[in-house]
């Protein structure tokens, strides 16, 4: 069953078909939302709420248009509410990091924000296997640094250094691609 | 300013190892240089996006199955579906409550006076109970005295004490309460679950105290793992020494590196060596009926095979228990399922018996006449953790009157 067929069934009252819709779009949406949320705002909760909101308003979705774009617009609206709330708070100094990220991403939320995550995916794909494996252990499985070091026959300090280095390389790669692709 | 030091602070931040002093210094450096701030923002957003991006594709099925134990995408789908179904059925609006909880957490985060510790990594459903309210506890959440941190099934949390390197890792289904009064020092109550702690050197005479159901651990600086189940408290020490004091009688034992001990209702409080890590799953090699007055088999029941008949008239006057044998002789734990009761008992100490002494105040098993099915599953870790061996099932028929 395609997601379009699943959406049609959801509109007909088949609630279970929505599971297919969530499975098809969840990774891309979670990644997009995670990229836009400042500290103190839980991207998983925003993504969760966006899916639920989309379900509630499924009748408003026009068939054969881009469902992900519609879903992402719901999520972005929720992120914007959070960003504005943070910016309206007066305790900027106390929550400096939260404000720093919130101030930086609002324009990008308006523009879409999906391009950077797509480029990041490309950049991760071009990493050597050893570095990609290290990232997966750290970010996907949340493996402790001591365990990663043990598996790689390395030290915790060396793993920390390599992780920071690969984070910076990924950032440079994304920025380079952004310049190239406009 | 040495850029190397700035990068070191950034690295510590993204690895969750930045202490309070480092956080203040990092903030100062970010405030004084927009280029540094831009780098921080990019790396922060990138870090957040990496976890969802790196999850395996559906087509890599085998890999996904292998990694599912550690982290699975399906709970997210299930959560959404649960909410959707609930909303359809009740027309309720649970996200309003979720949003309110998150807002309360942020308000609490913003209005804290002096945090005791901070959550630096947590799953989306990890919560804190504060003054009777349940708050979401995302990364960055400031913990105060009197808070109780809860991890749900499948989610963990890491807590770092402000101003030192002490950190705590909470396993799923753990409830950890922070002492409410300042004069209680660094005191934690593990109400259930398991916590791994790496404790920075504590001032002499003021140890960190980890209280659990059956005992308390007094820690001056070490790495340890403490588990609490209704029947017992288990302490495992990786580095240093920890003093464990049993609650019911004040008996104490010093547990050294690579040793563990279990405090329960009846067993002696002794430190034993931790099993070396292994990649080979343990095996259940057989069953017997064991006399309760000593770990020897009841004559005639040294090997209890599938289909065996146990005649209670033969055992009249004897108190016995069912025992599982393993290879190696000592394993992390054995889970017994009994007549469809999954997880009827999990034993962490040899001899591995179907009926635990502490649960019933006796160590004998008195089966009712009829057919009984017993399954034993061995694990390399305590309480059903670690590598699992193959489950072994036997069905026995009990005849005659109870002795």
pLDDT digits (tens, 9 = 90+) for B192-233: 888 888 888 777 677 888 888 788 888 877 788 887 766 678
Secondary structure (3-state) at A85:
helix
Q: Confirm or reject contact between A31 and chain B (CB < 8 A).
A: yes
Can you give the pLDDT at residue B55? 64
pLDDT(B94) > 70: no
Average pLDDT for A5-33:
86
B286, two tokens = 């057989």
Which helix (H) or strand (E) segment holds residue B372: the answer is: strand B370-379
Can you give the pLDDT at residue B65? 27
Give me the DSSP letters along B162-215: TTS--EEEEPSS-EEEE-SSGGG-SEEEEEEEEEEEEEPPPPTT--EEEE-SSE
**Which has the closest alpha carbon to B402: B327, B311, B335, B337?**
B311
Q: Confirm or reject contact between A126 and chain B (CB < 8 A).
A: no
Can you give the pLDDT at residue B87? 55
Which residues are registered as beta bridge partners of B286?
A: B325
Can you give the pLDDT at residue B308? 93
Q: For residue B263, report the phi and psi dihedrals to the nearest 5 degrees.
A: -105, 120
Rg of chain A over CA atoms, in angstroms? Answer: 19
Can you give the pLDDT at residue A71? 92
Q: With the CA atoms of B85, B90, B93 and B94 taken in that order, what torsion angle do they form, in degrees rounded to the nearest 10?
A: -60
Residue pLDDT, tens place only, B130-158: 887 778 888 778 888 889 999 887 778 88
The mean pLDDT of chain B is 76
Q: Do A141 and B98 touch (CB under 8 A)?
A: no
Average pLDDT for B153-173:
83
B102 chain-A contacts, CB cut-off 8 A = 41-42, 45
Can you give the pLDDT at residue B387? 85
Can you give the pLDDT at residue B326? 93
The mean pLDDT of chain A is 82
Can you give the pLDDT at residue B67? 32
State the best of A15, A26, A34, A170 to mutate against chain B, taking most chain B CBs within 10 Å: A34
Can you give the pLDDT at residue B283? 94
Q: Confirm or reject contact between B25 and chain A (CB < 8 A).
A: no
The mean-pLDDT minimum among A11-25, A114-128, B132-146, B348-362 falls in: B348-362
pLDDT(B287) > 90: yes
CA distance B294 to B267: 13
A45 chain-B contacts, CB cut-off 8 A = 98-99, 102, 124, 136
Can you give the pLDDT at residue B66? 28
Q: Confirm or reject contact between A161 and chain B (CB < 8 A).
A: yes
The complex scores an ipTM of 0.76
Can you give the pLDDT at residue B73? 41
CA distance A135 to A129: 10
Query: What contacts B97, CB < 8 A, 6 or more positions away?
Result: none
Average pLDDT for A86-105:
69
- Cα four-point dihedral sign B126, A45, B101, B90: negative
Can you give the pLDDT at residue B58? 37
Longest dimension (CA), chain B: 86
Average pLDDT for A20-27:
86
Average pLDDT for B145-174:
84
Q: Confirm or reject contact between A17 and chain B (CB < 8 A).
A: no
B250, two tokens = 């004040």
Q: Pick A69 or B381 by higher pLDDT.
A: A69
3-state helix, strand, coil in chain A (%, to 5): 80, 0, 20
Pairing of strands B242-246, B232-239: unpaired
**Residue B92 banded pLDDT, cuts 50, 70, 90:** very low
A141 chain-B contacts, CB cut-off 8 A = 67, 70-71
**Residue A92 banded pLDDT, cuts 50, 70, 90:** low
Can you give the pLDDT at residue B218? 85
Pairing of strands B252-255, B341-347: unpaired
Note the Cα B98 to chain centre separation in Å: 26
Q: With the CA atoms of B143, B149, B153 and B158 taken in that order, what torsion angle do they form, in degrees rounded to the nearest 10?
A: 40
pLDDT(A121) > 70: yes
CA distance B258 to B347: 20
Q: Pick B106 or A150 by higher pLDDT.
A: A150
Can you give the pTM of this predicted structure? 0.41
Can you give the pLDDT at residue B156? 85
CA distance A104 to B36: 13
Q: Do A171 and B14 touch (CB under 8 A)?
A: no
Can you give the pLDDT at residue A154? 80
pLDDT(A76) > 80: yes
CA distance A4 to B175: 43
Q: Which of B30, B50, B88 sits opposite A135 (nearest CB)?
A: B50
Q: Do B52 and A31 touch (CB under 8 A)?
A: yes
- Cα four-point dihedral sign B44, B46, B51, B52: positive
A171, two tokens = 């950032």
Proportion of chain B above pLDDT 90, given as a percent: 10
Can you give the pLDDT at residue B60? 31
A36 chain-B contacts, CB cut-off 8 A = 45
Q: Pick B217 or A182 by higher pLDDT.
A: B217
pLDDT(B125) > 50: yes
Q: For residue B207, report the phi and psi dihedrals to the nearest 5 degrees.
A: -70, 160
State the best of B38, B42, B98 to mutate against chain A, taking most chain A CBs within 10 Å: B42
Residue pLDDT, tens place only, B47-74: 888 877 776 543 332 233 223 223 334 4
Q: Do A161 and B73 touch (CB under 8 A)?
A: no
Q: Residues of A numbered 49-68 whose beta carbons fall under 8 angstroms of chain B's beta carbons: which are they? A: 49, 51-53, 55-56
Can you give the pLDDT at residue A94? 55
Q: Which residue of B has its CA nearest to A82?
A: B103
Pairing of strands B187-199, B208-211: parallel
Helix axes A156-181, B34-54, angle to 10 degrees: 100
Q: Do A140 and B67 touch (CB under 8 A)?
A: yes
B157 touches B122 (CB < 8 A): yes
CA distance B228 to B211: 10
**Residue B309 banded pLDDT, cuts 50, 70, 90:** very high
Can you give the pLDDT at residue B176? 93
3-state helix, strand, coil in chain B (%, to 5): 25, 35, 40
CA distance B345 to B339: 12
**Residue B394 banded pLDDT, cuts 50, 70, 90:** very high
B241, two tokens = 């020494």
B3, two tokens = 């850029």
Which helix (H) or strand (E) segment holds residue A157: the answer is: helix A156-181
Which helix (H) or strand (E) segment holds residue B290: the answer is: strand B283-291
- Burial (Cβ within 10 Å: 0-12, 13-18, ≥19) of residue B59: exposed
B237, two tokens = 């020490």
According to the per-residue pLDDT averaged within each range, which of B5-14, B110-119, B392-401 is highest? B392-401
Cβ count near B269 (within 10 Å):
18
Proportion of chain B above pLDDT 70, given as a percent: 77
Average pLDDT for A117-129:
86
Q: Pick B100 or B76 by higher pLDDT.
A: B76
B7 chain-A contacts, CB cut-off 8 A = 164
Helix axes B3-14, B34-54, angle to 10 degrees: 30
Can you give the pLDDT at residue B177? 92
Q: Residues of B numbered 87-126 whose beta carbons fall under 8 angstroms of chain A's beta carbons: which are they? A: 87-88, 95, 98-99, 102, 106, 109-110, 121, 124
Average pLDDT for A90-109:
69
């Amino acid at each position: 069953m395609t997601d379009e067929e699943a959406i049609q069934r959801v509109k007909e009252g088949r609630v279970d078909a929505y599971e297919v819709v969530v499975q098809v779009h969840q990774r891309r949406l979670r990644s997009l939302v995670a990229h836009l949320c400042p500290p103190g705002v839980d991207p998983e909760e925003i993504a969760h709420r966006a899916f639920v909101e989309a379900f509630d308003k499924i009748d408003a979705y026009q068939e054969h248009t881009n469902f992900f774009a519609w879903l992402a617009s719901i999520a972005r609206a929720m992120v914007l509410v959070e960003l504005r709330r943070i910016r309206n708070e007066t305790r900027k100094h106390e929550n400096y990091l939260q404000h720093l990220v919130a101030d930086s991403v609002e324009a990008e939320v308006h523009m879409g924000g999906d391009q950077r995550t797509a480029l990041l995916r490309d950049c991760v794909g071009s990493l050597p296997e050893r570095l990609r494996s290290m990232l997966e252990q750290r970010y996907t499985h949340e493996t402790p640094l001591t365990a990663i070091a043990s598996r790689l026959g390395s030290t915790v300090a060396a793993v920390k250094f390599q992780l920071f280095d690969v984070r910076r390389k990924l950032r440079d790669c994304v920025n380079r691609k952004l310049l190239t692709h406009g | 300013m040495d850029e190397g030091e700035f990068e070191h602070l950034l690295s510590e931040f993204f690895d969750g190892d930045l202490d309070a002093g480092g956080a203040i210094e990092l903030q100062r450096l970010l405030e004084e240089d927009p280029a540094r701030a831009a780098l921080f923002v990019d790396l922060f957003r990138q870090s957040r996006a990496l976890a969802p991006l790196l999850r395996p594709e559906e087509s890599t099925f085998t890999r996904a199955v292998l990694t599912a134990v550690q982290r699975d995408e399906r709970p997210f789908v299930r959560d959404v579906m649960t909410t959707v179904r609930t909303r359809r059925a009740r027309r309720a609006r649970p996200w309003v409550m979720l949003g309110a909880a998150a807002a309360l957490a942020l308000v609490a985060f913003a209005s804290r006076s002096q945090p005791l510790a901070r959550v630096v990594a947590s799953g989306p459903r990890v919560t804190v109970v504060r003054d009777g309210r349940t708050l979401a506890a995302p990364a960055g959440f400031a913990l105060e005295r009197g808070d109780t941190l809860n991890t749900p099934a499948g989610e963990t949390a890491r807590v770092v004490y402000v101003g030192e390197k002490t950190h705590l890792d909470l396993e799923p289904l753990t409830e950890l309460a922070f002492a409410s009064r300042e004069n209680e020092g660094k005191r934690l109550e593990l109400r259930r679950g398991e916590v791994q702690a790496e404790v920075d050197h504590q001032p002499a005479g003021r140890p960190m105290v980890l209280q659990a159901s059956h005992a308390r651990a007094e820690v001056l600086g070490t790495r340890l793992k403490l588990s609490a189940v209704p029947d017992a408290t288990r302490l495992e020490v990786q580095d240093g020494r920890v003093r464990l004091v049993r609650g019911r009688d004040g008996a104490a034992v010093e547990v050294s590196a690579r040793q563990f001990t279990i405090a329960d209702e009846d067993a002696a409080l002794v430190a034993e060596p931790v099993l070396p890590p292994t990649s080979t799953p343990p095996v259940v090699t057989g069953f017997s009926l064991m006399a309760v007055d000593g770990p020897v088999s009841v004559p005639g029941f040294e090997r209890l095979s599938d289909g065996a008949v146990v005649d209670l008239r033969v055992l009249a006057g004897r108190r016995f228990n069912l025992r599982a044998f393993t290879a190696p002789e000592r394993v992390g734990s054995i889970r017994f399922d009994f007549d469809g009761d999954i997880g009827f008992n999990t034993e962490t100490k040899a001899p591995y018996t179907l009926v635990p002494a502490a649960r019933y105040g006796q160590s004998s098993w008195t089966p009712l006449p009829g057919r009984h099915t017993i399954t034993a599953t061995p694990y390399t870790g305590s309480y059903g953790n670690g590598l699992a061996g193959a489950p072994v099932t036997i069905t026995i028929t009990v005849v005659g009157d109870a002795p």
